[in-house]
Amino acid sequence: MATVAEKTNVWEKEVLLNGCQAVAQGVKLANVDVIAAYPIRPYTEVMDALSKLIADGEFDSEYIVADSEHSQFEIVKHASSVGARAFGGSSGTGWMYGFEALVVTATDRLPPLFVVGNRALDDPGAFGVEHNDALALRDMGWLLCWASTAQEALEHVLIGYRIAEDSRILMPMALAMDGAFLTHSQHMLKVPTQEAVNRFLPSFDLGKRVLHPDNPVSIAPQVNEDWVMELRRQNWEAARRARTIIPEVYKSFNDIFGPRYDNPFFDEFLCEDAEVVLVGLGAVKMPAQTAVRRMREQGKKVGYVNLRWFRPFPHEQLRATLGRMKGVGVIDRNFAIGSPDNGGIVVQDIRSALYPLAKRPVVTDFIGGLGGRDMSIADCVRMLEITLDAANGKQGDELVTWIGLRE
């Protein structure tokens, strides 16, 4: 029997797009009102694509070339405050330049969406992928999510706005995608129809929080010790609520566009009977899943967890999935200098999530792929082998193995 999705044609066309252009399509379909642009490799092409869509009359939005990332992010934030759906983006050191603006956007409880074309942090300058830019936001009250394919990036612009703008949430959304691997490679992508998108994504309404002469308010007056804790608690609560609202949004997405996401928070690849899994964010999913297939051919019971949502962190669901495993290998495409056991950022959260379990898998960590270095299929096979060894009691003293490092 034909599904609802097949009956009503929700996909308009298949187009050759790279990751940046895919995001631009998402922004267009979301009928964004204000875009602020500033160039930095590798996300810049998102803004190139948007300007062309506007110039050709395919899309109507204000488009401002800002004087710096700080101004860029502030333009987005204030456009959002007056009720406009707003979009911005950056990468690496540019993201850090405007970091103040990002922090206050969350504490102002405004819901614009930003794309982060993950790029290594300066100094020295390097263009290749590294996740620290987006991860730096993890404590600040942002929704933080990784796309692992360009299709996913397109769809998550829509999913992101819907979640962020939910009046029970009101948190800004950072959609991260690996620089180069996602931003710059071209695939045939399915672009949804505007009509289907309109059914999924309502228009943006800040209600009584909007800054407009018809709604006289004062937003973010100065506070002191009488108020900070309560305001933080409110933000904290919004993130907690988001964990229950996110699955509702994905269900709505699946209902309209077809069953695309089984689990909003992460994808499980061959995990049902796995004893050992790798967990990663972003494009490393490709070589990792290939490695899993190859090792399955050798009879090894391995799988891959593609973690999509980093904040709010899906600790309950991860506990359930990873708690079944004998071993978990975390792929950290980031650095965390001086951290506990010298692990990366993601392993800290994974270990923390697993801590309450009576029976815990062995956890091992891999730091690799920094500054754009490849993480090959062979690297991923090696990571699985190391994790299998660890699961069988053969772990060394160190939590961390550096993958692909010239030693």
Partner 1 sequence: MATQLPVIDYEKIKKIHDTPLEEFYTSGHRTCQGCESAMVMRDFAKASGPRTVVTGATGCMYVANTSYLTTPWIVPWMHTQLGAGGASAVGMAAGLRAQMRKGKIKNEKINVINFSGDLGAGDMGLSGVSGALQTDYDLLIILYDNESAANTDIQATGLTTYGAQTTFTPPGSKHRIMQRRWKKNVAAMLAVGHPTCRYVATASATFPALDFMNKTRKALGIGGPTFIHTFDPCPKGWDFHPRYSHELGELGIKSGIFPLYEIIDGQVVYTYDARQKGRIPVREYLEKQGRFAHLVDEDVDYIQGMVDTMWNEWDIPGVAPFKAGLSVSGERATV
Partner 2 sequence: MIKRVEVNYRGIFQKNLGKYIGGDIVQIASRMGKVAFSNGRYSDAPERNGIPCKYFAFVSPDLSEEELEAECGAKLDIDEADVSVVVDDTMVKGVEPWGWHGVRAINEKVREKGCLLVVSQHTHDNLLQFIPRLPFSWRLASVEGPASLAGLWVYKDDLTRERVLGAIAAVDPGIIAIEAVEAYLLERTTDKHRAEAARASYDATLRNIRVVKAGEGAEWHHEIPRLPTWKEFEDGGVVVPAVPRGFKMGPRGQTRNDAFKRGTTKSHRPVIRFDLCIKCTLCWYDCPDECFDPTDDGLYDVNYEVCVGCHKCAEVCPVPECIVMVDELKFNSDASPWEHHKKDAQGYIKWAEEKKGLDRIHYPHVTGTGMEIREGKYVPPKPEKGGAAAGAKA
**167 near partner 1, rule: CB under 8 A:** no
Of 32-40, 125-133, 156-164, 220-228, the window that binds partner 2 (rule: CB under 8 A) is: 220-228
Distance CA 20, CA 41 (A): 11
Q: Which residue from 188, 231, 320, 405 is in contact with partner 2, where contact means CB under 8 A? A: 231
**230 near partner 2, rule: CB under 8 A:** yes
**Tokens describing residue 282:** 């972003």
Q: Which residue from 60, 67, 237, 398 is in contact with partner 2, where contact means CB under 8 A? A: 237
CB 318 within 8 A of CB 266: yes
**214 near partner 2, rule: CB under 8 A:** no
Distance CA 159, CA 26 (A): 10
**107 near partner 2, rule: CB under 8 A:** yes
The alpha carbon of residue 385 and the mean position of all alpha carbons in its chain are separated, in whole angstroms, by 28
**33 near partner 1, rule: CB under 8 A:** yes
**108 near partner 2, rule: CB under 8 A:** yes
CA 92 vs CA 24, 334, 343, 354, 364: distances in Å? 20, 12, 21, 30, 27
Reduced to 3 states (helix: H, G, I; strand: E, B; else coil), residue 314 is: coil
Q: How many CB atoms lie within 10 A of CB 9?
A: 11
Q: Which residue from 2, 218, 272, 358 is in contact with partner 2, where contact means CB under 8 A? A: 218
**Tokens describing residue 216:** 């006289």
Give the distance between the most distant pair of CA atoms in the chain: 68
* Closer residue to partner 1 in complex, CB, 60/341: 60
Distance CA 38, CA 67 (A): 7
* Closer residue to partner 2 in complex, CB, 236/355: 236
**298 near partner 1, rule: CB under 8 A:** no
Looking at residues 97 to 116 of the shown chain, list those that interact with partner 1 (rule: CB under 8 A): 100-101, 104
**Tokens describing residue 254:** 């699946």
Q: Which residues bind partner 2 (CB under 8 A)?
A: 107-109, 208-209, 216-221, 224-226, 229-231, 233-234, 237
The contact set with partner 1 (CB under 8 A) reads: 31, 33-34, 36, 60-62, 64, 66-68, 70-72, 74-84, 86, 100-101, 104, 203, 211-213, 215-224, 226-227
